[in-house]
Amino acid sequence: MLQALPVKLETSGDEKALLLATMKKYNEAANFLAEQAFRLKIANKVELQKRFYYQLREQFNLSAQFAVRVISKVVEAYKKDKRIKPVFRELGAIQYDQRNLSWKGLDRVSMITLKGRIKLRTRIGEYQKSRADRIRGQADLIYRKGEFYLIAVVDAPEQSEFDPVGAIGVDLGIENIATDSDGQVFRGETIEKARKRYNSLRARLQKKSTRSAKRHLKKMSGREKRFKRDINHVISKAIVSKAKGTIRAIALEDLSGIRSRATVIGRKQQRDRHSKWSFRQLRAFVEYKAKRDGVPVKFVDPKNTSRECPKCHNIDARNRRTRNHFKCTECGYEAMADHVAACNIAARAAVNQPIVAPLFSAVTSPLALAVGS
């Protein structure tokens, strides 16, 4: 299983200027080639290389491998949607491979620039050190907040899937980010407060529209993304750890169309809350952590999971009288609605084949925010 490993580069003033110049020239060449590819309607890498390889090298002073990587970058972007011309940011990522980048131990890296190779020191933490021996040749150079990072590709080991005894059903939602069939709830109250705070601050800054306000908006965007990512990591880790410890599979709903499943009451506000949480990211985190630990993952049809009685299997919209309360119209069974949905998900996984569709080819601690009782 391939994973991304960020490694920070230490650069002097001259080295930083050289990397910035290289990045600008690389993306200037990519925009030039994208213009040609779009004009000629060519999305074939071999054909573009025949026509523009030497021009890229001469016109933009690129090394041989840089020219090849530019062509690959343009083709990959253009193939996604041939109706529009790809446009690359001036300081967009540079793609490196084993021909133009090599690791010199754990703390140094040699990489090609416009003026030949340079050797840079890296800041390697314990997390990176434990994975350094699995780094593959590919890496992307990115520039973020005045610092350069290499996003290296590492080959993370996978465990063989164990034979599960039952499954943990997990229902994803808004009031409660996740609820499992054992009754554990990862609550969303603090997350909802953070969402409202970000929305309010964003509205005030957008209304001001000054340079300072725009800088603040950019910083806030990064802070909000990190907040969501941390919470999703905590929740996914807890779910996978429980499944592994109890030798059970993880059962999830197919989340396609989750934003269209908002109720009529408060529809606009509810959709806003859906759009402000990264359910797809949470599911992806659960998948890759499960794959790493050998935990089977199953996906079930989400239809009526919150309306079906787990005792008598009566399906009725009236069973879920409120957002949080479930009461069966047939047998009278009562429970928390999200827990009922999670139990139904687990039950459906027990009779379904394990079809896994991987997604990957300043508040208190995240754990305190995410994990409820």
Q: Read off the pLDDT of residues 40-79 as tens digits, 9 standing for 90 and up.
A: 999 999 999 999 999 999 999 999 999 999 999 999 999 9
37 pLDDT higher than 80: yes
Are 253 and 305 contacting, i.e. CB atoms less than 8 angstroms apart? yes
**214 and 239 fall within a common domain:** yes
Handedness of CA 62, 64, 69, 72 (dihedral sign): positive
Structure tokens at 259: 């934003």
- pLDDT value at residue 344: 94
Domain presence at residue 24: yes
Domain termination site, one of 131, 155, 179: 155
Split at pLDDT 50, 70, 90, the class of 362 is very low
**26 and 174 fall within a common domain:** no
Distance (Å) of CA 180 to CA 109, 176, 270: 45, 10, 22
**77 and 171 fall within a common domain:** no
Distance (Å) of CA 262 to CA 246, 272, 307: 34, 10, 15
Structure tokens at 126: 């314990």
**149 and 177 fall within a common domain:** no
**64 and 146 fall within a common domain:** yes
* Closest listed residue to residue 140, CA positions, set 111, 160, 178, 179: 111
| Beta-carbon contacts of residue 242 (< 8 Å; ≥ 6 apart) | 168, 180, 182, 184, 248
Structure tokens at 221: 């965007």
**Mean pLDDT, rounded, for 291-317:** 91
Domain presence at residue 183: yes
**329 and 193 fall within a common domain:** yes
Structural domains in the chain (count):
2
In total, the chain counts a number of residues equal to 373
Return mean pLDDT, the chain.
82
- pLDDT value at residue 310: 92
In this structure, the number of other CB atoms found within 10 A of the CB of residue 184 comes to: 18
Secondary structure (DSSP) of 171-199? EE-SSEEEEETTS-EEE-HHHHHHHHHHH
- pLDDT value at residue 175: 76
Domain termination site, one of 155, 181, 211: 155
Domain presence at residue 28: yes
303 pLDDT higher than 60: yes
Q: What span, in angstroms and rounded, lies between the C-alpha atoms of 151 and 113?
A: 17
**274 and 140 fall within a common domain:** no
- The range of the structural domain enclosing residue 65 comes to 2-155
309 pLDDT higher than 50: yes
Split at pLDDT 50, 70, 90, the class of 39 is very high
**Mean pLDDT, rounded, for 118-130:** 73
Q: What span, in angstroms and rounded, lies between the C-alpha atoms of 351 and 339?
A: 19
Domain presence at residue 160: no
Q: What is the pTM of this model?
A: 0.62
- pLDDT value at residue 69: 93
Domain harbouring 280, CATH code: 3.30.420
Query: For the ranges 117-131, 230-244, 256-270, which has the lowest average pLDDT?
Result: 256-270
Split at pLDDT 50, 70, 90, the class of 104 is confident
**Mean pLDDT, rounded, for 257-283:** 57
Residues in a beta bridge with 123: 8
